[in-house]
Amino acid sequence: MPTDIDTQSRQFEVTQSYDRMAWLYDVYDAPMEILGLRKRRRRVIPLAYGETLEVGVGTGKNLAHYGPEVKLWAVDLSFAMLERAKRRASRLGRQVNFDLVDLTGMPFPDDAFDTTVATSVFCSVAAPVEGLRELGRVTKPDGQILLVEHVRPSGRLLGAVADILTAITRRVFGFRINRRTEESIAEAGLRIVALRRNGVWREIVARPGLDRGSPDE
């Protein structure tokens, strides 16, 4: 079983990868955008309302899609990616509260946000269940957690290929293409209240677990 030190070491390696590649990130990520991420972020991000936290903001590709009434916080563990997001927010004229924060140990109080957001983030979080639990903790009991994620293909052959290729993507780019995010959401104690599946893509609206006092759906 991995220790906290093992997890921290893996996350440090991932963060280093994103720091190195930040200047080129929008270029090498372009195929993911074309293959479905762009249209999904345009569909999901406008659902955000109220005080909103985006984790793993990256270079800030979601920033243009939030409604003007949203009060936005955005965090990332990569300093280089965060700097690029700040520049994008400036170009958009968007007021954002940026911070360098580890998703698995955020400094925000319980029930701080109406909406929390992550897009293609949990493929690169070393401890995804812990990160999802943190999202649940900082989201108000009647709030929402908006996720757009790619997951391990369901077919036996494609799943096996994804497992093999993950050894490469993890080492070179810092992310895994074989994550089972729906299972991780359940393990984290969150409730999925809306789900769109298409190939490896998942668009998810979740809420904190019932044990935190949120109303049953």
Which residue in this structure is represented by tokens 């070179």?
A: 172
pLDDT at 217: 41
Strand arrangement, sheet containing 71-76:
96-100, 71-76, 51-55, 113-119, 139-150, 201-207, 191-198
Q: How many residues does the chain have?
A: 217
Report phi then psi at 23, rounded to 5.
-65, -25
**For the residues 114-118, what does the mean pLDDT come to?**
97
**For the residues 82-103, what does the mean pLDDT come to?**
96
Residue 6 pLDDT greater than 80, yes or no = no
pLDDT in tens, 23-41: 787 887 787 788 888 999 9
**Cα separation of 136 and 145, whole Å?**
8
Residue 214 pLDDT greater than 60, yes or no = no
H/E element, 143: strand 139-150
pLDDT in tens, 43-62: 999 999 999 999 999 999 99
Q: Which domains does the chain have, with CATH numbers?
A: 4-211 (3.40.50.150)
pLDDT at 209: 82
Residue 102 pLDDT greater than 80, yes or no = yes
pLDDT at 213: 46
